[in-house]
Structure 1
Amino acid sequence: DSMEIAPDLITAALDIVASEGGGHVHWWVFEPNNIHRQLAHNAGLASGRHLVQMRRSLPLSDEQLAHAADFVTKPFRTGIDEDAWLAVNNAAFNAHPEQGGWTRDIVAARQAENWYNPEGFLMHWDDSSLSAFCWTKVHRDTEPQMGEIYVIAVDPLHAGKGLGRRMTIAGLAYLAKQNVPHAMLYVDADNAAAMSVYTSLGFTTHHRELAFVGDVAAK
């Protein structure tokens, strides 16, 4: 049984990390349960980031699309918009473990991926100031094919204006035009505001993923 050998596998993995100089480890678990939590506890790992993958079918209804009928977005201009985007992203995700603190090098690495398409990187400007964005990704190699809201955020200076909802609708409308039947996104389980917006737009929970984390000393 896999659960019987799991403690040995976890110990072996942590030993490898220790032998390579130690460091901070993440053990991601799909649909975590109490057995996983006990295994993590026994290994000295604590619960970390808790993600919810949400999905909905496409396209949106006409009623939903009407909420963003006059909402204007423009595609990301590669080589021009990086600094403006970084400023908004890093302000919106200040102290976020993965999305905060991005640099031009990180952006360039994402732009080099074969899925990158600036047409699906939607920007909403307030005059010359970027106020919100929705970066999408199309997964052609999944069954069914899936459109993902990869990163979405509103400049904190523009919070409370309903931009997050309209930006989400704009992203979903773009994905529907790519002829993918379903949309998905990941959201932190403790982000009640975002969960509420996504639920109101027809997203439902597909599955949960939990990271057990800890620091491993070098041996």
Structure 2
Amino acid sequence: MERATRDPDGTLVALEADPADAEHDRLAHEAGLVLTREVLQLRCPLPAADPEPLDLRSFRPGVDDDAFLEVNNRAFAWHPDQSGWTATELRDREAEPWFDADGFLLHERDGRLAGFCWTKVHPASDHDPALGEIYVIAVDPAFHGLGLGRALTLAGLQHLAARGLHHGMLHVEADNVPARRLYEDLGFTEHSAHRWWGPADPGQ
């Protein structure tokens, strides 16, 4: 996928590419554009490391919606895509053919949702094998520092491996260094990058 925006005289003023490669970098550089966002796709072989002990249950549509939205929006208050989700956005995803509540894992502590790992399965295509994705994963900020991010990731990967999948994947912001370190420690490596470029001075 490539989206190029040009002004009336044909000058490139914005560029988006997924997957991005050296040619896209060159075009952006020649146009004087700067990288404004980069999302990495990471992959790992399955099964991954053995999961850590963690009490989990499956998401219940219509019952757990509010708790999920509260944690999601607290955890991703900084994120350009994942923040500010509404009940409508959640219901839209629950209606997708890929949605599987059994692969939407919740962890509760002290009677409240502490974190979740929502998985998704991509069927094999002409370009890729079947992939098990960590679609959304988050820990409520009130429960940070307890190792729940690692434990939830491993639980999600175990669920995907149990479904017979041999390849795991996820997306992460390139500048989210703590998350990248965690995923790399679990065996993920970079597969591709989705990049956006824009003017060096957004006000121009």
| TM-score normalised to structure 1 length | 0.80
Q: Does 2:20 match 1:31?
A: yes
Distance 1:158 1:211 in 2: 32
- Residue number among 23, 46, 57 corresponding to 1:58 in the alignment: 46
Deviation, 1:95, is: 2.4
Partner of 1:194: 179
The aligned runs of 1:127-206 (5 Å cut-off) are 127-142=110-125, 143-206=128-191
Q: Which amino acid aligns with 1:96?
A: H
Preserved contact between residue 17 and residue 24 of structure 2 (Cα < 8 Å) = no
Partner of 1:109: 92
Q: Percent identity?
A: 44
* Structure 1 spans left out of the alignment, 5+ residues: 1-5, 17-24
| TM-score normalised to structure 2 length | 0.85
Q: Which amino acid aligns with 1:204?
A: T
Deviation, 1:42, is: 5.9
Runs of 4+ in 1 over 6 A off after TM superposition: none
Deviation, 1:175, is: 0.3
Partner of 2:11: none
Q: Which amino acid aligns with 1:30?
A: P
Partner of 1:125: 108
Pairwise CA RMSD: 2.6
Distance 2:102 2:21 in 1: 36
Q: Which has the higher helix share?
A: 1
Higher-Rg structure is 1
Residues 155-175 of structure 1: per-residue CA shift (max 9 Å, x gap): 001001100000000000000
Distance 1:144 1:15 in 2: 40
Preserved contact between residue 35 and residue 197 of structure 2 (Cα < 8 Å) = yes
Preserved contact between residue 16 and residue 194 of structure 2 (Cα < 8 Å) = no
Deviation, 1:14, is: 4.2
Distance 2:179 2:172 in 1: 7
Deviation, 1:94, is: 0.6
Partner of 1:48: 36
Distance 1:134 1:187 in 2: 14
Preserved contact between residue 31 and residue 208 of structure 1 (Cα < 8 Å) = yes
* Structure 2 spans left out of the alignment, 5+ residues: 9-13
Q: Which amino acid aligns with 1:140?
A: P
Deviation, 1:117, is: 0.5
Deviation, 1:37, is: 3.7
Q: Which amino acid aligns with 2:148?
A: L
